[in-house]
Amino acid sequence: MTTWWHPMVRATARRRLAAERAAALRRVDAWQPPLGTGLWRTAYGESCDAVLAYDRIVALVPAGPVRDELAGRRPDLLAMLDRVRYLAENGAALDPAGPVRDAELLALLAEDPHGDLGQQLGAPPSHLLMDALAAVRGAMWRATEEAARLAVHLQENAGATDTAIWLTALAAGVVSARRADWAP
Amino acid sequence: MTDREAARATAAEVGWPGIPTSMRLDADAPGAGPGTGHWHRQVDRLLAAVERSRAAVVQAPAGGVRDQLADLLHVIELRSARYERIAEVGQALWPDDDTTDADGTAPGERPDLGGAAQDIDARLVTALAHLTAVASAVEQIALAAAGTIAADRAALEVERLFRVSPPP
């Protein structure tokens, strides 16, 4: 009989979990990880938004090598999202409501005759996780913004000075025509 | 209140303006193209400037000047289409829709843009100023061609317009 601790069973389970996680990341589902309803969920959702915005931008880039290159970079964003998920899951396990001290605890400590001990507590340890998460989220959004700048650049026409030159010349032409009595 | 509703309420309160698009209901999802909010309004302004040029071309007397202006109108329309696509990139990056409050802005309210979205918006503002200058120049030339205003005055005005609002 093969039991759950058998190496083959555990390896299969690990592969299945990895496949499930990869599939979830491909979907970029903000509701998939168990993050509760607080700050961790919001921070993860904002990170998912970076990938979704990236996808929308890539879809607007004209077909060609630039678009292919941008599409090829998507796994990098997913890897960063995986990191965000890891940090958020740990944060949610430590402080489900977010990296903030419990308000009731702070109120009780404030009543202590020896002084407001709540001030001495400082930030909860999970704030380090939130800081790390914010850094990765920031990197994700910077990548998305660069994609947007590139998409805009492809739509720009650096030589778009012809309209002004054309109209200025045309106005001068009307003046010449009038002087030469060519126009009514 | 379900967990998702509670999470959305928290997100609207503590996160970036609005609720993350990945956490919204389908009805509050970002609009396609330039959306239905800020970026759509920018496109409307661009199209209004093009329409102003088109109306001026129609009013020019038939002849060489009108033919030249009609050719130019085609260039302006192509350029306007480019700006529309830039607005779509703005919507893709920083969605804003008047059909939902989940984006953190009330209908008609300008979003507090930042980063690349702000750059894109500034680019569109410059483009709009230029297209408006183009429309004014077309009007001046059409009036000069019709003999309604002095050609010298129109030429000076066109030169001034493009000095004040150079091409983006």
- Model pLDDT, residue B144: 87
Tell me if A40 sits within 8 A of A84, measured CB to CB: no
Which one has a higher pLDDT value, B1 or A3?
B1
- Model pLDDT, residue A172: 84
Tell me if A80 sits within 8 A of A49, measured CB to CB: no
Cβ–Cβ gap B6/A46 under 8 Å: no
- Model pLDDT, residue B118: 95
- Model pLDDT, residue A21: 60
Alpha helices in chain B (DSSP H): 3-14, 38-59, 64-93, 115-145, 151-164
- Give the nearest partner residue to A155 out of B82, B138, B144, using CB atoms: B82
Q: Would you give the distance in Å from CA B134 to the centre of its chain? A: 15
- Model pLDDT, residue B75: 86
- Model pLDDT, residue A59: 94
Cβ–Cβ gap B93/A46 under 8 Å: no
> B136 vs chain A: nearest CA distance in angstroms?
11
In tens, the pLDDT along B43-98 reads 999 999 999 999 988 888 888 888 888 888 888 888 899 999 999 999 999 999 99
ipTM of model: 0.88
To the question of pTM greater than 0.90 for the whole model, the response is no
- Model pLDDT, residue A159: 59
Cα distance from N-terminal residue to C-terminal residue, chain B? 50
- Model pLDDT, residue A44: 96
* Rounded average pLDDT over A58-63: 92
Tell me if B120 sits within 8 A of B90, measured CB to CB: yes
User: Is residue B146 predicted with pLDDT exceeding 90?
Assistant: no
User: Is residue A125 predicted with pLDDT exceeding 90?
Assistant: no
- Model pLDDT, residue A53: 96
- Find chain B residues with C-beta within 8 A of A141's C-beta: 115
Tell me if A45 sits within 8 A of B15, measured CB to CB: yes
Tell me if B103 sits within 8 A of B95, measured CB to CB: yes
Cβ–Cβ gap B151/A30 under 8 Å: no
Degrees to nearest 5, angle at CA A47 with A45 and A52: 85
What percent of chain A shows pLDDT beyond 70? 87
Q: Number of A:B CB contacts under 8 A?
A: 168
CA dist., res. A40 & res. A88, Å (int): 5
- Model pLDDT, residue A6: 77
Nearest residue in chain B measured CA to CA from A175: B151
Degrees to nearest 5, angle at CA B55 with B49 and B57: 105
The first and second tokens of residue B70, run together, are: 């009609």
* Rounded average pLDDT over B110-118: 92
Long-range contacts of A54-58 (CB under 8 A, 24+ apart): A54/A143, A54/A144, A54/A147, A56/B30, A56/B92, A56/B93, A57/A144, A57/A147, A57/A148, A57/A151, A57/B89, A57/B92, A57/B93, A58/A147, A58/A151
User: Is residue A161 predicted with pLDDT exceeding 70?
Assistant: no
